[in-house]
Amino acid sequence: MRQKEFLASLDQKRIVEAITAAELRTSGEIRVHIQPRGGSDIRVTAERTFERLGMTRTALRNGVMLFIASHEQRFVILGDRGIDEKVPAGFWDAIAANLTIRFRAGELTDGIVEAIHTAGEELRHDFPRSEGDVDELTNDISVGHE
């Protein structure tokens, strides 16, 4: 699906609200990034994007990014070092499996919102929000180009 169509099919307001709601309960930072293609190695492209978007500059290294290649309908979920040291083995795989099912059913927004909620719940346990917590990254969906 072309990126413009993909973005138009999403309830972007609902996704941003899900990020905001999740981050009210955790010091973790969640981001959704959408671009047309993931390249020959989507994980490498996602890792570069993670770095470029400042996801590694959070104080507790507790950023999570859902990187979506809209044209290919592929995605990668990345957690920064602080998160990966704490979440159980297979945690991202379980979120990815559920998101794959939702995408195949055409439930793009529902799948993304569910992934945000699940990641947020885990972050809440490992990185609870504290008094004076600052939202370090924007909650808006970031959009890249080829």
| Helix, strand, coil content of the chain in percent (nearest 5) | 50, 15, 35
For the chain, list the domains and their CATH numbers.
3-125 (3.10.310.50)
Q: What is the pTM of this model?
A: 0.94
Residue with tokens 């600052």: 134
Tens digit of each residue's pLDDT (9 = 90 or more) over 29-47: 999 999 999 999 999 999 9
Give the integer Cα–Cα distance in Å for 11 and 41: 28
* Percentage of the chain modeled with pLDDT above 70: 99
